[in-house]
Amino acid sequence: MYSVETRSLSKSFGAVTAVNDISFAVESGEIFGFLGPNGAGKSTTIMILTTLLKPTSGQALVFGFDVMTQPKQVRQSIGYVQQESTVDEYLTGKENLLLQARLNHIPKDQIDKRIDEVLELIELSDKQNDPVVTYSGGMRKRLDIAGGLLHRPKVLFLDEPTVGLDIQTRRKIWEYIKKIHKEFEMTIFLTTHYMEEADQLCDRIGIIDRGKIQVIDSPENMKNAMGNEVISLTFENGNFADFLSQLRQIDLIKKINEDNNKLTIFASKGTEVIPKIFQISSELQIKIISISLTQPTLDDVFISYTGHEIRDDDTGFNRKREHAKMKRLRA
């Protein structure tokens, strides 16, 4: 049985189709990620899977339980850590976890043990009696995650777990996520618009854009499908059109992206392709200014599937909305 599954799932808000006929399945124990820009439909999907929103059509299942007809069983199986922190700043870390434990109906005689366990896992034991206002952004996020683990869910949903944190803190959060995954042997479903995060954490990634899943695969397979190497080339003058058409005849070249006098060439054997590029350019009297050989990144994959880059902006609209919904769930 899959831990998470959707079948032709769609969600519209009036004229806006936030989630457009998506079908995917997550194996038990996998770290699965949705990678996509703001507005792609990531949070909407998570909110359907966590029973906070009703789908317009299609089906969503968590461990075989249908979110529409068995929401209670779904909620018992899941932990949900939303993008914006939900902890109370004026309580201590421990008090926040106590509150969370009661909301989750954890048996009284187990509460202390569970809290100690998650505090230790997330390395906040020595800060547990400090008020959260004194915590850094990374510590707050760790406390949020700890709260989502208290009832030992079988699947943990993390919506943009490191958004807004600096890169060092993000890396540390990744380590905690890996540690949790290992110790609890749970499924993790996360969303992100950071390529590196998806690459570092996920066994498989679904690239989502404008409500549609463009591709689902492991980061490795996605990158390999692009050709093993990327040649970045800048040049000036000469016959650009002939240059391009001759390059396209080279078998080892799989794809060429053009951007003024910059070419990004995806090739299977970069070191064999480079001499050929020089030969063609000298015949056509094209002056190569720079050339470099690198491995493909998920950025390259994303652009090739969506035709655009992931932009990093946030209106804050979604965050407020999610906060309000979470409160309703807890009430």
- Where in 311-330 is the site for ligand ADP (CB under 6 A)? 318, 321
Position 45 contacts Mg ion (CB under 5 A): no
Position 43 contacts ligand ADP (CB under 6 A): yes
Taking residues 207 to 246 in sequence order and writing x for each that binds ligand ADP by CB under 6 A, - otherwise, the string is ----------------------------------------
Q: At 139, list the tokens.
A: 């510590």
User: Quick one: which segment of 41-49, 120-128, 149-157, 272-280 binds ligand ADP (CB under 6 A)?
Assistant: 41-49
CA pair distance 175, 159, nearest whole angstrom? 17
Nearest approach, Cβ of 188 to ligand ADP (angstroms)? 17
Among 3, 22, 26, 41, contact with ligand ADP (rule: CB under 6 A):
41
Position 43 contacts Mg ion (CB under 5 A): yes
Position 10 contacts ligand ADP (CB under 6 A): no
39/161 with CB nearer ligand ADP:
39
User: Quick one: which segment of 34-42, 128-136, 165-173, 262-270 binds ligand ADP (CB under 6 A)?
Assistant: 34-42
CA pair distance 121, 324, nearest whole angstrom? 29
Nearest approach, Cβ of 39 to ligand ADP (angstroms)? 4
The residues that touch Mg ion, with contacts defined as CB under 5 A, are 42-43, 318
The residues that touch ligand ADP, with contacts defined as CB under 6 A, are 13, 16, 18, 36, 38-44, 318, 321
